[in-house]
Amino acid sequence: MEHDRSNTQILGHFIDGKHVADNERTQPVFDPATGLSNKRVSLASATTVEQAIASAQAAFPAWRNTPPLKRARVMSKLKSLLEANAEKICALITAEHGKVTADAMGELTRGIENVEFASYAPQLLKGEHSKNVGPAIDSWSEFQALGVAAGITPFNFPVMVSLWMWPMAVVCGNTFVLKPSERTPSSTLFLAELALEAGLPPGVLNVVNGDKEAVDTLLSDSRVKAVSFVGSTSIAEYIYATGCSHGKRVQALGGAKNFAVVMPDADINNAVSALMGAAYGSCGERCMAIPLVVAIGDEAADAVVAGLKEGIAKMKVGPGNDDRNDMGPLVTKPHFEKVKAFVDAGVAAGAKLVVDGRGVKVDGHEGGYYLGACLFDDVKPGMSIYQEEIFGPVLGVIRAKTLTEAMAMIDAHEYGNGTCLFTRDGEAARFFSDNIQVGMVGINVPLPVPVAYHSFGGWKRSLFGDLHAYGPDSVRFYTKRKTITQRWPSAGVREGAVFSFPTNR
């Protein structure tokens, strides 16, 4: 359902420091709390994307030669602007994604931490130097910018994930073309305006909204040297294969199915509280959400299920801009239908639906995409709710006898993004964290998302590429190492020709 198009705002692109219209193809942007739309977003043509790439290419030489300290000062100014405009940014996130305002603020805060990390560029970009590696020979390495980089971001974290990418890329001396999700474009366009206000020269950051045509243009254009992506595994695999086939450096973060393990000795009350937020926060639309809990022993399982059932009964579901609510709507009607179908499939497969959120209605928001928290018990391997990424407020409890059995389940799954263990046993915690085949591990921490000065990334089919996102790995991803070896012979010293490979004997 949409409003009259005569009153509809059309969101374009941000190229070379200016808003650019490209309205041949548009699609509605919905408020998931109401199911209504008063915005449309332009879907960039290949020509428009090429215009953005050309702008970034033209801006690269001057920006590459801008001292890192000056680039870092832009990041410091941007951090201040993000903090000053936090309320507006969070309102834009909530209006298009649906997450509650407090969660939007958490997203923004984690993004700001990455901008703060980028402001340390002069330190991060320092190379290595060795004097007298041979007679009168010095050698050093330095990190040089790649050129034009591109980022493709998901709907669920339109601010945080974009701030994972372009601040670090541009502070390393690159220029950037960002393609946000067409479902949540407004906050990203506003970030580009703030970057310009912070002192980022026109063309260093460009934003194009679009669909597969825009993505394929970025992947095939030879001027784009690196591509970062966050989204589903099927698309991540496509991005990685296509980008690599065109000679690009690619990091593509894909899907997840994160398990939490609850040991019999765990503090059950604390574990339940942590699981409530990890499973149902942001309506479960997080790649680090916990959709599966493996409880060791029936006593622990019964206690976890009872605690979760009690917690869900206290939850408030409604529009994200109401601070009294714990969970907002799902992002779109098709996604709502997809998640609901997973619940139906879980029931059909024989899992026990302890809490059914399919009938939730929110007064005054009957057109919104609301699904209440759902809780399954007796989930088994092979069920779709066990195997597939649901990306919704659906939590399943699996009953196991031992930690070894639980770890075997986790290791056998195709995804390896995040996992956590609830226990008081240090030996179990050490064994779990040391041996589990997952990229990010929490011990009594349900969402082990690394802070900005570490790096984020999963294993197996949760990540395609060798380098993780943000943190130290981002410096490696957005730069190429050059090693220089030089000698200045002393005056009057002349050497004869040497035909053997040089050594330092």
Q: Is 498 exposed, middle or buried (0-12, 13-18, 19+ CB in 10 A)?
A: exposed
Question: Residue 491: CB partners within 8 Å, gap ≥ 6?
Answer: none
Question: In degrees, to the nearest 5, what angle opens at C-alpha 108 toward C-alphas 453 and 37?
Answer: 145
Which one of the listed residues 172, 283, 287, 420 is annotated catalytic? 287
Helix (H, G, I), strand (E, B) or coil at 392: coil
Instruction: List, for residues 323-375, the tens digit of each pLDDT value.
Output: 999 999 999 999 999 999 999 999 999 999 999 999 999 999 999 999 999 99
Dist. CA 134–CA 119, nearest whole Å: 36
Instruction: List, for residues 372-389, the tens digit of each pLDDT value.
Output: 999 999 999 999 999 999
Dist. CA 8–CA 295, nearest whole Å: 50
* 90 is known as an active-site residue: no
Cβ atoms within 10 Å of 326's Cβ, excluding its own: 19
Per-residue pLDDT, 494: 67
Domains of the chain: 5-254+462-483 (3.40.605.10), 259-443 (3.40.309.10)
Per-residue pLDDT, 492: 63
Per-residue pLDDT, 5: 57
Residues lower than pLDDT 70 in the chain: 1-6, 492-494, 505
Per-residue pLDDT, 77: 98
Helix (H, G, I), strand (E, B) or coil at 9: strand
Question: Residue 140: CB partners within 8 Å, gap ≥ 6?
Answer: 127, 128, 129, 130, 483, 484
What percent of the chain is helix, strand and coil (3-state, nearest 5)?
40, 25, 35
Pull the structure tokens for residue 252.
């593509």
Helices 101-118, 160-171: axis angle to 10 degrees equals 10
Per-residue pLDDT, 4: 46
Report the side by side order of strands in the sheet with 18-20: 18-20, 13-15, 205-207, 175-179, 148-152, 224-230, 249-253, 463-464
Per-residue pLDDT, 348: 98
pTM of structure: 0.94
Instruction: List, for residues 25-75, the tens digit of each pLDDT value.
Output: 999 999 999 999 999 999 999 999 999 999 999 999 999 999 999 999 999
Q: Is 9 exposed, middle or buried (0-12, 13-18, 19+ CB in 10 A)?
A: exposed
Distance of CA 222 to the CA centre of its chain: 25
Residue with tokens 């399954």: 376
Beta strand pairing call for 440-443 and 292-296: unpaired
